[in-house]
Structure 1
Amino acid sequence: MIRPKTFLRLIHINWVMIFHGLDEIVLKTPLFRPIRYLALLSPSYWLRNNRDPRGVRIRRTLEDLGPIYVKFGQTLSTRKDLLPDDIAEELVKLQDKVPPFSAELARKIIEQQLGMSISEAFAEFGSEPLASASIAQVHTATLHSGEEVIVKVLRPDIESKIHSDVALLHELAKLGEKFWSDARRLRAIDIVTEFEKTILDELDLVREAANASAIRSNFKNSDMLYIPEIHWPLTRRKVLVMERVRGIPVGDIQALREGNADFKLLAERGVEIFFTQVFRDNFFHADMHPGNIFVELPAKYLAVDFGIVGSLSDTDQRYLAENFLAFFNHDYRRVAKMHIESGWVAENTRVEEFEAAIRSVCEPIFEKPLKDISFGLLLLRLFQTARRFDMVVQPQLVLLQKTLLNIEGLGRQLYPDLDLWQTAKPFLENWFKQRIGPTAKIKEFLGKIPEITEQLPEFPNLILHALQSTAQVQQQLQLQNKEIILLRKQLKKNNFNHFWAVVSGSLIISAALLLQNWLHLH
C-alpha cells in the first residue's frame, strides 16, 4: 500500500511533467503514439503556453523535481552518443548550472556549522556561486593566510527531499517486483537500497572530504591526476573547504584545442586512472561527469567532488578482472562459465548456448575505435541477452558500471579513435601478475613476517599445547581400540554360544522326532 505522502509526491511529479509539457513529448514516442489523441482531453493541452524546445523542458523538469532527478540527468549528459544533440546540450547544464540558492542563506549555513562569522573564517568570501549542483553549491573564498579555496555548502532542506524521493523509489521497486518478472531479475529493491546508501552518503561533507584525502594519498606525486587538499579545521557535515584548483573543464573541447591539449594521452590516462582506482586501490571516484573533471595542459586531470565513491569485495574485484581479460582475449566460453559458476545465471544454463549469445553481442565491437561503436545498440543487445538467460543484476556493481559508462563517454569526447580494449588489457595483465603470480606470493609471505615474528614467543606454548592435544587423542584412540577388542571378543563368544544353542536345539528336536516315530511303530 502506497503511503499518502508518497502518493502525493507521485501526483506532484506528474503535475511537474505536465506543467513543462513532457506529456506531449511522451505521447509522441512510438509506444504511446496510438493513444496520443488522448492529450486533447487534458486541460493542460489547451492552457499550456510553454513553447520552449524539448531539451529545455526536460532540463527544467529534472531541476524542479529535485536532486535525484538531476543526478539522473547528469548521468545521461555523459552519453551524448545515446541522446539527440538538443537534449544532450541542455542536460550538460545540470552538471554545474543548477539554479542556486541565495548567498545570504549560504552564509548563514556556514556560520552555523563553523560557529564563527564569515569574516573570522575567511579574509574574502565570494557571494556569487562558482558552481551550483543538485546536492550543494560552491563559493570562492580566501583564507587569512592568503590561500585561495572553494567553500562547498549543502543545499538547505535537501535531506527531506531526498528521503521523500527515495521512499517513492522503494514503493515503485516493491510494486515492480510484485507484478513484473524483469524487476525481480533486475533486483529493483536491492538497487534502490544501494542507490539510497550512495546518495545519503553525499549529504555528509566530512565523509566526502575523507574520500578526497584517500584518493589524494593514492595518487600522490602522480603526473596523471591531481586531487586538491582538504582544509580540515573549516570542514563540517554541511560545509567543506578545499584548495582551489584551476583548469579547463574537460567538456570544453574548443578551449582544450586552443591550449594544444594531448587528446590521445588524455583519453588513455582516463582509462588508466579508472582501472588503477578499481584494481590497484579498490577505491574509485564514482561521479566522474565532466562537471567534476578539469584538465591541466597538456594532459593532467584535476578532479573534484568526491561525494560518490565505490569499492569492491576481493571476490568481485578478481571476478571482474578475470571477466575483463576473458573479454579482451575473446574467450567467451570462460566468460560464460564464470557467469554460471558465480550464480549470475542459472546453473542449468548450457555453456555453449550462453557463449554463443555473448559472442554475437561482443565480437562486432572489438578491434574498433570508439567512434565506430554504437554503444546504444550494444547495451540494447546486452539487455536482451541478460533477459533471455534470466541474468541477475548485481547491485554492488551498479556504481562501477555507471563510472565505466562515464569514462567511455569521456573518452569518446576527447579522442574517438581510442582503442578502449587495447588500452586497458596491458594494465589488467600486469595486475594479475602482481596479485596472483609467484612474485605476489613471495610478497604476501614477506608481508606476514611481522605477524609471524610477533607470535614467535608463543610458539613453545603452542607446540606444547599441540603435543598435549595429540597425546590426549592417542589415549582416546587406545581406549577406543581396547573397547573394540573387548566388543569383538564378546561378539565371538555370543556367536559361539548361539551356535551351540542352535546345534543343541536341533539335536533335541531330532531325538524327540525319533522317539515319537518309535512309539508310533510299537
Structure 2
Amino acid sequence: MSNLEIEPAQKNPPTSMKTRRKRIVGLFRYLLIDILIEQAQGRILGKRFVERRSEERNRKRAQRFVATSLELGGVLIKLGQFLSTRFDLLPEVWLNELSRLQDSVLPVDFSLLKPIIEEDFGGPIESLFLEFNPVPLASASLGQVHEARLLDGTRVAVKVRRPGIEVIIEVDLEALNQVINFLQRRTDLGKLADLKGIAHEFEVTLRRELDYIKEAESARRFKTNLKKLKYVYVPEVFSQRSSNRVITTEFIDGYKITNYAAIEAAGLDRHKVARVLANCYLNQALIDGFFHADPHPGNLFVRPGPNGLQVVFIDFGMVGDITSEMRFQIRRLVFAVINRDVEAIIAVFKALGFIRREEDVDKVRLGINYFLDKFMSLNLGQIKALDRRKLFEEISYIFYNTPIYVPSDFSFMGRAFQTLLGLCTGLSPALSFTAEARPFIQRLMTEELGIPTIPPELTGLVRLLGDLPGADAVQEFFKSPTGEQLRQNALDIFTLPIKLNHSLDRLETGRLQVQIQSSEIKSSADRIQKSNERLITAILVGSFLISGVILSTAAAPVWATIFCLLVALLISLRFFRP
C-alpha cells in the first residue's frame, strides 16, 4: 500500500510520491503561466480588456488551487490557509475560495488512527479511555480531533496525527522549495520579500506543528502567560495521554467565535469579545513575546465565564516567538503609528530590516503617509465598508511601488494580525485598534520610551476628585467628540518630548550628520534643551488652563474646572523653580 492510499477519504490519489511532486510543481507552473499570459494581453490589448475578465480568471485559478489542495492534502492545505487572510497579496475572489480550506478537509477513518493511540500508550484503547468517540469533532490537514473521557471520567479532546503525513510533508516541502527558488530568481517577488526565508519559516513552523510534545509545551507556556488576563482561558494538557503523535487536552464547551447568533443568544457582548481578543494579542506581542500564530475561527471559542465571558484559545501547534529587540521595536512602531510620527515609523522600519537602502526612504514615506491618511481615523466597520476592489488596487500599487522588504521573521506575525483583524471586524465593526492599543502604549512609555509618570501629588488629587459628586458627568464629557479631542491633544502634548528628542537625534546623527564637538556648542545645546523643557512645561500649563475653560462651558461640575487650575498650578510649582 502506498503512502497516499492510507488516507481513504482522498479521491483518486496519485500513485507515487514522484507523481505528487510533479502535480504540485505543475499547479504552480499553470498559475504562473496564466498570470504571465494575462500580463502580456494587458500590454497588447489594453488594461481595460484584461480588467473585464480579471475577476473570472482569478476565480478559476483559485478554484483550481483549492480543488488540487483538497485532493492532495498536506502542505497545499496549510499554504492555502496561510494565504487565505493575505488581503495585501491576493484579490477578494481568491480569499473567498481559499476560505473553504479552513473547514473542508476530509476526515481519516478512525481504524487508521486507533493503532497510533494504542502503540503510543501501550495498551488497547478500552484500557486507556473510559469512552472514545470514533466520529471526529474536527479534521485538519495534519491531524484529527476526537472527543473522549479519561478513566476518571474527565471529558477531553484527543488530537491524533494523520498516519503517513510526515512523508507527504517532506515531498510537498521539496516541491514548494523548487517553486520558491524559481520565484526568487526569476520574478520581482524576490525583491519584495525574503521568499526563501519565508519558506524556511513555514517549514520550521510546519515541522513544529507535527510534534505534539512541543505543542503541549507551548500550551503550558500560553496558560502561564495569559493567566493574568481574566477574560482569557487556555485548556489544561493531560501529559499521561500525550505523546509525539497524540495530544490530550481539556474539552471545551463554547461557541465558535464566528457564531455571532449563538454568542448573542447567550447574552455575551460581541464588542467586549472583540476587545478581549485585541487586548490579548497586544499582550502577546508587546509584553510576552510569544503569540498564537493561527487564530482562525476553529481555534477560538467564546463561553460564559466567572467574569462574564471567556475567550478560549485551542490548538497551539503554530506559535511564534518575538525577541526582546523585536518586541522593543514593535512597541516603538505602535507608539509611532498612534501618534502619526512618520519619521519614527521609518526609523523602526530601518531597524527591523523593512528598508534596506537609504535612497528608498522618500518612497516609503509616501506609502506610510497614504496608509495613515487612509485608515487611522477609521474603525474596522468603516474600513470594511470601503470599496474592496478599489482598495486592493490601491494597496497593490503601494505594495509593489514602495521599496519595503518583508523579512521572513514577520510573515507569520503579519498573517496572525490579518486574521485577528478579520475576526474583530466581524465581531464588532465599531472597534478601533488605535483606541485599544493606546492604554498599552501609555503604560509602556515609562518602561521603554522614558516618558515621565504623573507626579504623585497629581495622582492623589485625581483619586480624591474621582469620588466627588459629578465625576460621572466629567467621564461622559470625555467620551464626547470634544472630550476625545481634548484627550488626544493632551496625549500629543505629553509625547512632545519624545518627538523633540527624536528630532535632536536626527540632527546629531542623521542625514544632516551634525557633530557637536566644541564645548561652546555643547553649552548652547544645553541651553536650548532647557529652553525646550520650559516651553513644553508652558504648553502643559496652558493646556490645563484651556481645559478648565472648556469644562466650565460644558456644564461640568465646578470642581472639574478647579481641578484643571490646580494641576496647572502644581506643574508650575514643580517645574518653574529658580
Q: TM-score, normalised by structure 1?
A: 0.71
- TM superposition shift of 1:326: 0.7
Report SS of the residue matched to 1:409: helix
Do residues 13 (structure 1) and 24 (structure 2) align?
yes
Structure 2 residue runs of 5 or longer lacking an equivalent are 1-15, 44-58, 454-578
Which residue in the other structure is 1:403 paired with? 416
Which residue in the other structure is 2:342 paired with? 332
Q: Is the 8 A contact 2:133 2:148 kept in 1?
A: yes
Cα deviation code 1:72-97 (max 9, x no counterpart): 33345557997658973x65453344
Report SS of the residue matched to 1:349: helix
Aligned amino acid, residue 305 of structure 1: D
Q: Is the 8 A contact 2:148 2:157 kept in 1?
A: yes
Which residue in the other structure is 1:159 paired with? 166
- TM superposition shift of 1:15: 7.1
Tell me how far apart the structure 2 counterparts of residues 277 and 190 of structure 1 sit (CA, whole Å).
Answer: 23
Do residues 307 (structure 1) and 317 (structure 2) align?
yes
- TM superposition shift of 1:433: 2.4
Tell me how far apart the structure 2 counterparts of residues 261 and 395 of structure 1 sit (CA, whole Å).
Answer: 38
Report SS of the residue matched to 2:416: helix
Which residue in the other structure is 1:359 paired with? 369
Select which of 420, 430, 434 maps to 2:443.
430
Select which of 194, 202, 219 maps to 1:195.
202
Q: Is the 8 A contact 2:235 2:249 kept in 1?
A: yes
Cα deviation code 1:166-214 (max 9, x no counterpart): 1122122222222224314412111111110011100100100110011
Aligned amino acid, residue 119 of structure 2: Q
Query: Could you say which structure has the larger radius of gyration?
Result: 1
Report SS of the residue matched to 2:445: helix
Higher alpha-carbon deviation: 223-232 or 59-68: 59-68
Q: Is the 8 A contact 1:54 1:87 kept in 2?
A: no
Aligned amino acid, residue 360 of structure 1: Y
Q: Is the 8 A contact 2:85 2:415 kept in 1?
A: no
Pairing 1:502-513 to 2, within 5 Å after superposition: none
Which residue in the other structure is 2:69 paired with? 62
Do residues 316 (structure 1) and 316 (structure 2) align?
no
Higher alpha-carbon deviation: 168-177 or 320-329: 168-177
- TM superposition shift of 1:287: 0.7
Structure 1 residue runs of 5 or longer lacking an equivalent are 36-51, 441-522
Q: Is the 8 A contact 1:283 1:311 kept in 2?
A: yes
Aligned amino acid, residue 401 of structure 2: R
CA 248–394 in structure 1, closer or farther in 2 if over 3 Å, else same: same
Aligned amino acid, residue 255 of structure 2: I
Q: Is the 8 A contact 2:212 2:317 kept in 1?
A: yes
Which residue in the other structure is 2:56 paired with? none
Identity %: 28
- TM superposition shift of 1:359: 0.3
Do residues 368 (structure 1) and 375 (structure 2) align?
no
Do residues 291 (structure 1) and 298 (structure 2) align?
yes
Q: TM-score, normalised by structure 2?
A: 0.65
Do residues 245 (structure 1) and 252 (structure 2) align?
yes
Pairing 1:26-425 to 2, within 5 Å after superposition: 31=39, 59-77=66-84, 88=96, 91-220=98-227, 222-297=229-304, 299-340=309-350, 342-349=352-359, 351-373=361-383, 374=386, 381=394, 384-425=397-438
Tell me how far apart the structure 1 counterparts of residues 93 and 427 of structure 2 sit (CA, whole Å).
Answer: 17
Tell me how far apart the structure 2 counterparts of residues 381 and 264 of structure 1 sit (CA, whole Å).
Answer: 30
Q: Is the 8 A contact 1:170 1:192 kept in 2?
A: yes
Report SS of the residue matched to 1:202: helix
How many residue pairs match? The answer is: 415
CA 8–276 in structure 1, closer or farther in 2 if over 3 Å, else same: same
